[in-house]
Structure 1
Amino acid sequence: MSQYVHAQQLVQHFEGWAPKSLAVEGDKNGLMLGTLNKRIKKIMVTLDVLEEVIDEAIEEKVDFIFAHHPLLFRPVKQINLEKAQGRIIAKALKNDITIYAAHTNLDIANGGVNDMMAKALGLKNTQILAPTSTEKLVKVVVFVPKSHQVEVREALSKAGAGHIGAYSHCTFNSEGIGTFKPLEGTNPYIGEKNVLEEVEEVKIETIIPEAKKSRVIRAIVASHPYEEPAFDIYPLENEGNTYGLGRIGEISQEMSLKDFAYLVKEAFHVDGARVVGDLNKTIKKVAVLGGDGNKYLATALHKGADVIVTGDVYYHMAHDVMMEGLSIIDPGHHVEKIMKVGMSDFFQKMIADHHFQTEVIISKVNTDPFQFV
């Protein structure tokens, strides 16, 4: 095995947790620039891809940038080297830097940006603020000789099968007799050509999210001793996990809006925050949503939040919800920078688990366009 992780392996591992299918419609995710057909020596995690970030990557000899905000969000009509975007593209290509972005799928994923923000604020009993999708589930039934049942069950679990709530390895197993006759051109694991065989087998039943079907099928084929594994896949009416934007929960101790605003500043390491509402108001139930939260102010109000922590709030939207009793703390869009440490930890664990020597660093460039004076 190479000492460096392959880009496709890295991306597959990430998308196993935060698949692109979680992203909101029309969002831009995935490969932005370069190739995934290479080994990676050095990864840099950043919130935004600015020219200063590319210069930093070149200086640090980075060959893979993982960003939260997409470099190419709108169609590129020209690559003009007199413009910053053109120079970014040219510099990245010249220095063989692959750029990959995970936007709203990283916001929505369990443990993603919104959960990172909720954790930083100390929220308890958190729930999804604005659901966006619910997993479709399917049942997988695999027939395997008794001698290989443990190996196949473990492969299924590692591929994402059999997870129900906080439980893993959930299967049902029943024994029976399997029959088959190997024909000409086969190379049977058990039996002889043109002879009907009867084998003691175990039927393993489990459930998987439909999105993981291809991965689970690959796991069956790889772990099963037969050259033609027998398995069935059935659609289910059961609903799987619900995913969505934002989180809503409670702080451990009530406090004033003013005190909570200072807590937000400290948690997200910002110099200031815009606050809407009575500073003496008591805060207990808190909604949080990274990025632009204007579309979800009414949702937070409807779900009983005392305050929502989000960015880019419009003047008239603030008026509307303030009159309805919802307070707002706007520490800016840039607080999503919390993902830099979170994703660095994620990649470092994956690399350590597989004993790769790929290095992971965090961009030191401050990409927040706003300053307080």
Structure 2
Amino acid sequence: MKIPNGNEVIQLFESWSPKKLACMENDPIGLAIGTLNKSVSKVLVTLDVNHEVAEEAIRKGCQIIIAHHPPIFRKLSNLRTDTPEGKLFEKLIKNDITVYAAHTNLDVADGGVNDLLFDALDLENRQVLEETYSENLMKLAVFVPDGHAESVRVALAKAGAGHIGDYDSCSFSSSGEGRFRALDGANPYIGEIGEMEVTEEVKIEVVFPTSMKNKILKAMLNVHPYEEPAYDFYTMAVETNVMGLGRIGTLKQPMSLEQFAHHIKAKLDVPAVRVVGNLQTKIFKVAVIGGDGNSYVHSAKRAGADVFVTGDIKFHVAQDAENLGLTIVDPGHHVEKVMIKGVAEKMSLLCKEKKLDVEFIQSEINTEPFQFI
């Protein structure tokens, strides 16, 4: 086990929750305060960054804070240390505490905020509510001498090619004859300079997401025996890695809206919820989105949800939902706190796999601004 630097830790985080998944215009994600160029042994995971969280990080000896809500959400026109916000930034900088924010990218990521809420509510049959990201599939076709086909297939599979649904190592092979003549200056694996060569070859075809092209090409070239391999890339009209905001699924057993509201209070550990709709309405299909879901009421209705679970619902949006016949349970924005445990556990696992000695500490500070009386 080794103590990594901050860049190594964040590279691992972004392998799970990459910035490209962010779906809000100008979402201020990434490094917000400080530097990643330092050794890191402790990371504090929190929903928000305030003075109490900063003090917690100092007290517990953390070098980095990973937060869901960006501490600098709007552009700063100045950085004054006689304001509450400025005093917070001053405290973090003076104590060499780096802050990294993962906002809508963490909402979208597999295993991120919305999946954590989905799991917390004991839902089944998970689907994406609103698609925000996808990639086209690409195909590699490469010609390999017969005796090396298996080693190329294995290398491509290890690099991630040929992963289709619940299957991996998928490929197609066809046999034929390869013809070539090596010119002066070549160093042929098969054949002689100036001589026409005919050899038995295998055409191997594999598919992969477009973003993996360079990785797949490197893996193939590393094991291909030819000095100048023959290969083609094709962009396919097939989407993969479909991801997005929110999740929709079903309860194990139907329940009334009133029962479901109590279910949410217990599962998400909130003292109260706001409810829109007839309390006796039967609930089976559930849409959920963390944070502010006002813009996704129609998405939930189109997806066939009986109820939409989200925070910060506005008065007129609630009226629109009533008119649509969609019930709503609003447990507040702060239920996104599920990310604290989720991120800490996920990052602990990723670092353990890479033999990195980092402790991920779950913040104990309650940053919920509302009280219920």
User: What is the CA-CA distance between 1:358 and the residue it aligns to?
Assistant: 1.5
Query: For 1:193 and 1:212, how far apart are their aligned partners in 2?
Result: 36
Query: Residue 347 of structure 1: SS of its match in structure 2?
Result: helix
Task: Pick which of 139-148 and 231-240 moved more.
Answer: 139-148
Q: One-letter code of the match for 2:288?
A: V
Question: For the Cα contact (< 8 Å) 1:178–1:200, is it kept in 2?
Answer: no
Query: For 1:180 and 1:105, how far apart are their aligned partners in 2?
Result: 51
The RMSD of aligned alpha carbons is 2.8
TM-score by length of 2: 0.88
Change (3 A) 1:327 1:355: same
Question: For the Cα contact (< 8 Å) 1:220–1:229, is it kept in 2?
Answer: no
The residue that corresponds to 1:328 in the other structure is 328
User: What is the CA-CA distance between 1:263 and the residue it aligns to?
Assistant: 0.6
Change (3 A) 1:78 1:220: farther
Change (3 A) 1:249 1:137: same
Query: For 2:113 and 2:146, how far apart are their aligned partners in 1?
Result: 44
Change (3 A) 1:103 1:342: same
Task: Pick which of 217-226 and 57-66 moved more.
Answer: 217-226
Query: For 1:54 and 1:361, how far apart are their aligned partners in 2?
Result: 13
User: Once the two structures are superposed, what CA deviation does each residue of 1:120-157 show, in whole Å capped at 9, x if it has no partner?
Assistant: 11112222212223322211234556666555544433
Query: For 1:104 and 1:329, how far apart are their aligned partners in 2?
Result: 21
User: Once the two structures are superposed, what CA deviation does each residue of 1:35-83 show, in whole Å capped at 9, x if it has no partner?
Assistant: 3344421122111122221221122111222221122221122111122
Query: For 2:19 and 2:88, how far apart are their aligned partners in 1?
Result: 24
Query: For 2:3 and 2:223, how far apart are their aligned partners in 1?
Result: 26
Seq. identity, %: 46
1:15 aligns with 2:30: no
Query: Residue 344 of structure 1: SS of its match in structure 2?
Result: helix
User: What is the CA-CA distance between 1:296 and the residue it aligns to?
Assistant: 0.7
Task: Pick which of 314-323 and 167-176 moved more.
Answer: 167-176
Question: For the Cα contact (< 8 Å) 2:114–2:288, is it kept in 1?
Answer: yes
Q: One-letter code of the match for 1:281?
A: T
Q: One-letter code of the match for 1:66?
A: I
The residue that corresponds to 2:239 in the other structure is 239
Change (3 A) 1:227 1:30: farther
Query: For 1:80 and 1:243, how far apart are their aligned partners in 2?
Result: 40
Task: Pick which of 274-283 and 38-47 moved more.
Answer: 38-47
Question: For the Cα contact (< 8 Å) 2:189–2:227, is it kept in 1?
Answer: no
Change (3 A) 1:124 1:369: same
Query: For 1:312 and 1:181, how far apart are their aligned partners in 2?
Result: 69
User: What is the CA-CA distance between 1:89 and the residue it aligns to?
Assistant: 2.8
Count of residues paired in the alignment:
370
Query: For 1:113 and 1:125, how far apart are their aligned partners in 2?
Result: 17
Query: For 1:206 and 1:199, how far apart are their aligned partners in 2?
Result: 22
Change (3 A) 1:50 1:159: farther
1:162 aligns with 2:162: yes
> Which residues in structure 2 correspond to 1:213-292 (within 5 Å)?
213-221=213-221, 231-292=231-292
Query: For 2:230 and 2:93, how far apart are their aligned partners in 1?
Result: 46
The residue that corresponds to 1:313 in the other structure is 313
Query: For 1:193 and 1:78, how far apart are their aligned partners in 2?
Result: 70
Query: For 2:226 and 2:290, how far apart are their aligned partners in 1?
Result: 49
Change (3 A) 1:229 1:368: farther
Any unmatched runs of 5+ in structure 1? none
Question: For the Cα contact (< 8 Å) 2:12–2:351, is it kept in 1?
Answer: no
User: Once the two structures are superposed, what CA deviation does each residue of 1:302-322 show, in whole Å capped at 9, x if it has no partner?
Assistant: 332221110000012112212
User: What is the CA-CA distance between 1:206 and the residue it aligns to?
Assistant: 1.4
The residue that corresponds to 2:140 in the other structure is 140
Change (3 A) 1:43 1:203: farther
Query: For 1:164 and 1:33, how far apart are their aligned partners in 2?
Result: 40
Q: One-letter code of the match for 2:265?
A: K
> Which residues in structure 2 correspond to 1:24-43 (within 5 Å)?
24-26=23-25, 27-43=27-43
Q: One-letter code of the match for 2:52?
A: E
> Which residues in structure 2 correspond to 1:13-92 (within 5 Å)?
13-26=12-25, 27-92=27-92
The residue that corresponds to 1:339 in the other structure is 339
Query: For 1:91 and 1:144, how far apart are their aligned partners in 2?
Result: 60
User: Once the two structures are superposed, what CA deviation does each residue of 1:299-353 show, in whole Å capped at 9, x if it has no partner?
Assistant: 2123322211100000121122123321111111111111111111111111111
